[in-house]
Structure 1
Amino acid sequence: MTTTPVETSSPSFDADALSATARDHLWMHFTRMSSYADSAVPTIVRGEGARIFDSHGRSYLDGLAGLFVVQAGHGREELARAAYEQAKELAFFPLWSYAHPPAIELADRLASYAPGDLNKVFFTTGGGEAVETAWKLAKQYYKLVGKPMKHKVVSRHIAYHGTPQGALSITGIPDAKKWFEPLVPGAHKAANTNFYRAPEHGDDLEAFARWAAEDIERAIVMEGPDTVAAVFVEPVQNSGGCFPPPPGYFQRLRDICDRHDVLLVSDETICAFGRLGTIFACDKFGYVPDIITCAKGLTSGYSPIGAAIVSDRVAEPFWTGGASFPHGYTFGGHPVSAAVAMANLDLFEREQLPQHVLQNEGAFRATLEKLTDLPIVGDVRGDGYFYGIELVKDKATKETFDADESERLLRGFLSRALFEAGLYCRADDRGDPVVQLAPPLIVGQREFDEIESVLRSVLTEAWARL
């Protein structure tokens, strides 16, 4: 491999001791803990701009913005300062029948960014909680308006919507759910927008758009429109490798939801806050949902917060009469997190980060598409600064890897090799094997070229091993 991590300074950490303590006590998320029985735990100790640094002092390009989160880049002192100043003033108070200025100001600002009549903001601490909130809200809304049978949801195959029991039910990844069943009943699945592997109309993008939207309608009709409360979709579906919507898809889906009196929930946990070049991704694709769920990039990861942004129509039964929404989180709308979010959005506007993405997304795509000359690269897809590269055994037939081959390719080689070559990103097989990329929004052509160079070297070696 031609690229190696750059050692920038002598670390001030005992890397071996940190790794041993991590193995003994730290239960890492979505991690096969046995994989570190005989190897060191990678430990990240610092970030600066688009780079992260490990406990050995080595530098890596952060090609995933932490976890689709660090939009403004690492080490932004103004965001840390905002947290400090707010913690001095008011470190904590709940939103349970009381308000505080940071939450009020942030709710007002999010409402000003949101499309249509999405003016009511319910704060959570993350995206999964926002999805959980949206489903519970949809159920209660329909009970309050005299349609108590409407409680089911439709989402898409392979889609990921979070880990709480309700959000996990909405998730469309069987392996993510099998250990926790039975889950919340009433969650049903329909087609996603993976045109590369379209089961119908694989030669006609517009026809595929109609078919994919109408498959959601088929699910609604099959369950009975009088029982379906909401459809949950990501603007660009993450799991499976960045499936963008084909032209006209969301307009047709909006019409379907209106026709059957079903709420359209745009899960923008990843796609909001500049990831695709707009504050809210629904604006980029020209549709107005009934609820937006969001988190991650709202603070660029400097403090945890999430939100469900709700239309006036859906909120109306809760704003009149005696109804309340008996749901909430201790740390939802935390004053420190809300203050950091405000500072982060100030930074977005001052540095024009969404506009930067729109100006450079074509160059990012073009740079990644250079990799299509490799025999292992089947498809490059995505939008903005959010891309997936699907890996195949045979480009002509689109033959994918079986489970054992995928295990050896992704976990046995690619994940470690990419990191060792100086690129932090994700090799994922929740669906067909892909490499996912979502760098901080501050990057440009120099980082695009570095990503392409590392991927070319590592994927070439992976193909040779196969």
Structure 2
Amino acid sequence: MTTADKPRTATPTAETAARHLWTHFDRLGNDRPVPVITRGEGAYIYDDQDRRILDGLSGLFVVQTGHGRRELAEVSARQAETLGFFPVWGYATPPAAELAERLAHLAPGDLNRVFFTTGGGEAVESAWKLAKQYYKLTGKPAKHKVISRAIAYHGTPQGALAITGVPKMKRDFEPLTPGGFRAANTNAYRNPQFDGDPEAFGRWAADRIEEAILFEGPDTVAAVFLEPVQNSGGCLTPPPGYFERVREICDRHDVLLVSDEVICAFGRHGTTFACDKFGYVPDIITCAKGMTSGYSPIGAMIASDRVVEPFLAPKVSFPHGYTFGGHPVAAAVALANLDLMERERLNERVLQREQAFGDTLRKLLDLPIVGDVRGDGYFWAVELVKDKQTRETFNAEERERLVRGFLPGALLDNGLYCRPDDRGDVVVQLAPPLTCGQAEFDEIEQILRQTFVEATSLI
């Protein structure tokens, strides 16, 4: 009997969820009980049957400092007692002002102005709107388009979805906001002609962005949106020299470079902002997720002085905002979370341990179903293939059986929460809390190995 054949019992909470809870990115007609997570402690979560499960995805690339951090809950309670809510619509609160100053000091270059949202998709939406208005204010009103990369995910709001490069995520919601266009991504595994010459691959991939700008017309392109390490498609890392060249291209054509760090910021790659690690200064940063380690929802758009300058003119405003953007409780929790990360030196720990994490996952390359292991920091992907020699991937029926039928339940039953994904080719993504070490790396590898061996019988 494989893991997929083991019976699962629905608890009363799971039955209630099946009747009333609309789970996100999910099929409501699933015949399996809805998994119910009841508590978390450190790097582990527990379900309603009290099974202990390693959180190999930090919730959703969020819980940097681990679960059950009492000090973050206590900060939240104290702030709620003092001031539970007030908007930043022409007003400030002490936590929002202090957090804005903190982020400005942590951001590279002259990115000194912080616009708060409640999540990452809203931050991306805000950045596109900012770019459009910036060029209207600077006398270039035709510049409104965005270049992003194939298979890249940037959010679910209509504008952010238009920037997203995953066609099947957009079909049901079209027509979308016009103006989103795509260039090649940095998937080295699927570009074997550059094997052994990563610098040439970096130049080629960056030049595809310039090609897209020139094709659309530089006078119509406002921004290029790039993740430091691309999530969708499976942790696509930048080749050497890639971002340096992209920065030159954007400057040459007067296009804003937006570093979408909703996943990559706050220690995921060992620096507060991943653009620092990869050696470039963007015009705008979008971030969210790890800012509070998930203990309260918040996001932000951080803009450079150059981008903000035309908004400082008399009678100019940015007519955009969110009710809960810069929420005082969320801002207070973010400040406490940043303090905690500094106190425990989590950025340094990631830099010290990232090689060991990658080396541990690469042990899986001895399995015939594992084609590639790639990533950076505490953000890795294992690509699964049908044929290791040819790098052949799976057909639609096999993906259905593997990615949606077998892997999610089998991994959880074997004691690991992570993310099987086939928005590009088939990958399993890992992004554990930044507090994890070799013991957790070994546990992740062992559970993946067991599950992949079982999965081999399905293809």
Q: TM-score, with normalisation over the residues of structure 1?
A: 0.96
**1:78 and 2:71 equivalent?**
yes
d(CA) in 1 for partners of 2:159 and 2:191?
28
By how many angstroms is 1:196 displaced? 0.4
Structure 2 contact 43–67 (Cα < 8 Å) conserved: yes
By how many angstroms is 1:461 displaced? 1.2
**1:31 and 2:26 equivalent?**
yes
Structure 2 contact 151–424 (Cα < 8 Å) conserved: yes
Find the residue that maps to 2:358 and give its secondary structure: helix
By how many angstroms is 1:200 displaced? 5.4
Partner of 2:11: 16
d(CA) in 1 for partners of 2:391 and 2:10?
43
Partner of 2:315: 322
Structure 2 contact 284–301 (Cα < 8 Å) conserved: yes
Partner of 1:206: 199
By how many angstroms is 1:199 displaced? 7.1
Of the three residues 190, 211, 218, the one matched with 2:211 is 218
What is the one-letter code of the residue matched to 1:96?
A: W
What is the one-letter code of the residue matched to 2:351?
A: L
By how many angstroms is 1:321 displaced? 2.1
Structure 1 contact 294–306 (Cα < 8 Å) conserved: yes
By how many angstroms is 1:205 displaced? 1.2
Partner of 2:144: 151
Partner of 2:372: 379
Partner of 2:92: 99
Of the three residues 328, 333, 342, the one matched with 2:335 is 342
Partner of 1:11: none
Structure 2 contact 84–328 (Cα < 8 Å) conserved: yes
d(CA) in 2 for partners of 1:213 and 1:333?
35
Partner of 2:404: 411
String of CA shifts for 1:267-317, please: whole Å, max 9, x gaps: 000000000000000000000000000000000000000000000000011
d(CA) in 2 for partners of 1:52 and 1:107?
32
d(CA) in 2 for partners of 1:339 and 1:320?
31
Uncovered stretches (5+) of structure 1, i.e. residues with no partner? 5-13
Structure 2 contact 10–34 (Cα < 8 Å) conserved: no
Find the residue that maps to 1:419 and give its secondary structure: helix
What is the one-letter code of the residue matched to 1:27?
A: W
Find the residue that maps to 1:215 and give its secondary structure: helix
Partner of 1:261: 254
By how many angstroms is 1:15 displaced? 6.3
Partner of 1:430: 423
d(CA) in 1 for partners of 2:383 and 2:10?
34
- Paired residues in the alignment total 455
Larger displacement relative to structure 2 (313-322 or 349-358): 313-322
Partner of 1:420: 413
String of CA shifts for 1:156-185, please: whole Å, max 9, x gaps: 000000000000000000000000000011
d(CA) in 1 for partners of 2:2 and 2:156?
38
Partner of 1:185: 178
d(CA) in 2 for partners of 1:88 and 1:438?
34
Find the residue that maps to 1:24 and give its secondary structure: helix
Find the residue that maps to 1:367 and give its secondary structure: helix
Partner of 1:397: 390
By how many angstroms is 1:320 displaced? 2.2
Structure 2 contact 402–458 (Cα < 8 Å) conserved: no
Partner of 2:300: 307
d(CA) in 1 for partners of 2:39 and 2:402?
29
Structure 1 contact 15–55 (Cα < 8 Å) conserved: no
d(CA) in 2 for partners of 1:249 and 1:347?
33
Aligned pair in 2 of structure 1 residues 257, 199: CA closer, same or farther (>3 Å)? farther
Structure 1 contact 157–190 (Cα < 8 Å) conserved: yes
Larger displacement relative to structure 2 (57-66 or 410-419): 410-419
Q: What is the Cα-based RMSD across aligned positions, in Å? A: 1.4
Partner of 2:230: 237
Find the residue that maps to 2:225 and give its secondary structure: strand
By how many angstroms is 1:464 displaced? 2.6
Of the three residues 428, 435, 444, the one matched with 1:442 is 435
String of CA shifts for 1:228-261, please: whole Å, max 9, x gaps: 0000000000001000000000000000000000
Find the residue that maps to 1:158 and give its secondary structure: coil
By how many angstroms is 1:415 displaced? 1.2
Structure 2 contact 2–454 (Cα < 8 Å) conserved: no
d(CA) in 1 for partners of 2:162 and 2:2?
43
Aligned pair in 2 of structure 1 residues 424, 165: CA closer, same or farther (>3 Å)? same
